[in-house]
Amino acid sequence: MIQAARDVADLDIPLLGINLGTLGYLTEIEGEELSGALDALMEDRYHLEERMMLKGTITYGDGRTESTTALNDCVLVRDGSLRVLNYEIMVNGEHLNTYSADGVIVSTPTGSTGYSLSAGGPIVSPKARLLLVTPISPHTLNTRSIVFSSRDVIRLQIHPRRSKEVERAFVSFDGVVNYPITSNDIVEISHTEKTTKLVKIKTESFLRTLSKKLSD
């Protein structure tokens, strides 16, 4: 579903998700409901729900850039080594914090029920428009997720250790596209005007769905 959302981001095509797994926050139709869902779709008994997406841009030390989009999240994590890295977070050009952690997740409300949730982040209504920053296994006792406006720009960079050697990590978008980076590179995340349009056939609210999933 997430891969499909990335594939059609430029085409403005609505998606109907069929849940073939377990949690299925993003896919509301179960496999045995497919026939009825297709009937409803053909009879125009549905509505569309828009989900915000992220734009990620990597600026390498040599000046090259790479850009992509994400529906769920952008994740910056260490590459191979078991030692923690120092991740500096800037918001709109201002220093926020430097985390010693395994990584940092920047997610959308849709992504709040994904990796961010596993890392201890809050569940956010998918209709909200915001950026959620969650450190992964931070080496501190008082670190929590931080919520920002969708208009804010988050910049991530790895800080070298005292040895000044180049640190290596990788940045992943929706767990699909991965780019190796070093402490010479900068990752910038913001919202994009592109959205994912989901076909909603059921009238069940997000809170009702969440209640059912939490009790499973």
pLDDT for position 66: 94
- d(CA 91, CA 30) in angstroms, rounded, equals 40
How far does Cα 148 stand from its chain's mean position? 14
DSSP single-letter state for residue 21: S
In this predicted model, what pLDDT tens digit does every residue of 120-131 receive, in sequence order? 999 999 889 999
pLDDT for position 163: 64
pLDDT for position 23: 62
**What backbone torsions phi and psi does residue 132 show, to the nearest 5 degrees?**
-115, 120
Decide: pTM greater than 0.85: yes
pLDDT for position 216: 65
Q: How confident is the model at residue 147 (pLDDT cuts 50, 70, 90)?
A: very high
pLDDT for position 7: 87
In this predicted model, what pLDDT tens digit does every residue of 80-112 receive, in sequence order? 766 788 999 999 999 999 989 999 999 999 999
pLDDT for position 22: 67
Continuous segment of H or E residues that includes residue 2: helix 2-7
Question: Residue 169: which of 155, 153, 185, 154 has the closest Cα?
Answer: 185
Q: Are strands 29-30 and 146-149 parallel, antiparallel or unpaired?
A: unpaired
Which residues lie below 8 Å from residue 201, measured CB to CB, with a gap of 6+?
A: 16, 28, 29, 37, 40, 41, 45, 46
* Domains of the chain as residue ranges with CATH: 2-50+195-215 (3.40.50.10330), 53-193 (2.60.200.30)
pLDDT for position 165: 76
Contact 147, 131 (CB under 8 A): yes
CB neighbourhood size of 38 (10 A): 14
Widest CA span in the chain: 65
pLDDT for position 33: 85
In this predicted model, what pLDDT tens digit does every residue of 36-73 receive, in sequence order? 989 998 999 999 999 999 999 999 999 999 999 999 99
In this predicted model, what pLDDT tens digit does every residue of 179-205 receive, in sequence order? 999 989 999 999 999 999 999 988 777
In this predicted model, what pLDDT tens digit does every residue of 162-185 receive, in sequence order? 667 778 899 999 988 899 999 899
pLDDT for position 139: 86
pLDDT for position 84: 84
Percentage above 90 pLDDT, the chain: 56
Q: How confident is the model at residue 9 (pLDDT cuts 50, 70, 90)?
A: confident
How far does Cα 149 stand from its chain's mean position? 15
Q: How confident is the model at residue 76 (pLDDT cuts 50, 70, 90)?
A: very high
Please write down the long-range contacts of 147-151, taking CB distance under 8 Å and 24 or more positions apart. Answer: 148/91, 150/52, 150/191, 151/191
